[in-house]
Homo-oligomer: A and B are copies of this chain.
Amino acid sequence: MRRAALAAGAFAGLAACSPAAQVAAPAPTPAPAPANPPAGMQYLYGSGEAAALSVQVWQALAAYVSDRVKARPANSVVLADGASLATPSFAPCGTKPYAAIFDVDETVVLNIGFEFHDARTGRGWNAADWDAWEKTGEGAVAAVPGAAEGVARLRGMGVTVIFNTNRAVANAEATARAIRAAGLGEAVHGETLYLAGDDGQGNRKDGRRATIAAKYCVLAQGGDQLGDFSDLFNATGQSVPARRALTVGTPVSTLWGRGWFVLPNPVYGTALRGGFDDVFPMDKRWDLPADGGKN
């Protein structure tokens, strides 16, 4: 995902570095460079655990799609217009050709260069730097482990790979170059690449998904954010625990790993929210026993 609407990270308090702001005020003083990258970046960009997990998702996805193409399903894995998470229904497949829909950032592409800049300079995420990254970052991306092999396998099965990202429509060509540079093949705006600004719905992706599902039988969706599957997960005013509860033991939770495939991202986005009362249920708290647990 792209983070324009979600800059809730540690540096969100820094002034946005737009040209106008640079004229009106001194540039923000960067924090001193930390000794190590944040834990989330160590995990996602550095660890064998996250690499293995990403390969796992892509291998499971390709195996799932391989099974699905053997017998045409009745429905796409895109929710139908008017469906809810409680009573899901899905866009019909008819005789449409097969496709799979993927977010770009931290789903097929690792934004290694930008996150280095973010962490090392202490500037953090800001809209101006991210826009420059979209325009010029193609040399400093890598494929998510397993993604290049995964999309190649899908194409080999006759499944059209479509990218649905919240990168800006103004940067469509540069984003296609970044996708190509990561070894993920060609993306053509309006055909296999959809971006924020393609319609009047901003960062919401349901409209673009409906456009795609009108033309294709969508066998799989992949993303690192719940909004990569349905905007319904991001209802305004919803608490952190209520949002989590939508994903477990519900009518849509059967889709995880069976049509909807989540990639790990503890670096940024809608997952990094919540205070202690949101994250730790009151009935699951613990403190040292008075005897230190010696009994």
What is the interface of chain A, defined by CB distance below 8 A to chain B? 10, 19, 35-53, 55-57, 59-60, 63, 112-117, 119-121, 128-129, 131-133, 135-137, 139-142, 145-146, 224-226, 233, 240-241, 243-244, 246-248, 253-254, 256-258, 260-266, 269-276, 278-281, 284-289, 292-293, 295
8 nearest A-B pairs in the assembled complex, by CB-CB distance: A132-B293, A113-B286, A47-B271, A56-B257, A56-B256, A46-B279, A266-B266, A140-B286
Q: Which B residues touch A120, using CB under 8 A?
A: 276
Q: Interface on chain A toward B: helix, strand, loop, or mixed SS?
A: helix
Given the contacts A137-B286, A272-B39, A273-B42, A48 and B116 also touching, CB distance less than 8 Å: no
Q: Which residue of B lies closest to A110 (CB)?
A: B284
Instruction: Chain B residues near A57: list those with CB within 8 A.
Output: 56, 257
Chain B residue nearest in CB terms to A286: B113
- Which of these, B63, B114, B258, B274, contacts A257 with CB under 8 Å? B63
Q: Is the CB of A140 within 8 A of B257?
A: no
Residues A271 and B36 in contact in the complex (CB < 8 Å), given A116-B285, A286-B114: no
How long is the Cα–Cα vector from A248 to B144 in the complex, in angstroms?
A: 10
Kindly provide the distance from the CB of A137 to the nearest chain B CB, expressed in whole angstroms.
Answer: 6
Residue of B nearest to A233 (CB): B48
- Complex contacts, A266 vs chain B, CB 8 Å: 39-40, 43-44, 50, 264, 266
CB pair B293 A49 closer than 8 Å: no
Q: A145-B247, A254-B59, A284-B112 are in contact. Are A49 and B279 (CB under 8 A)?
A: no
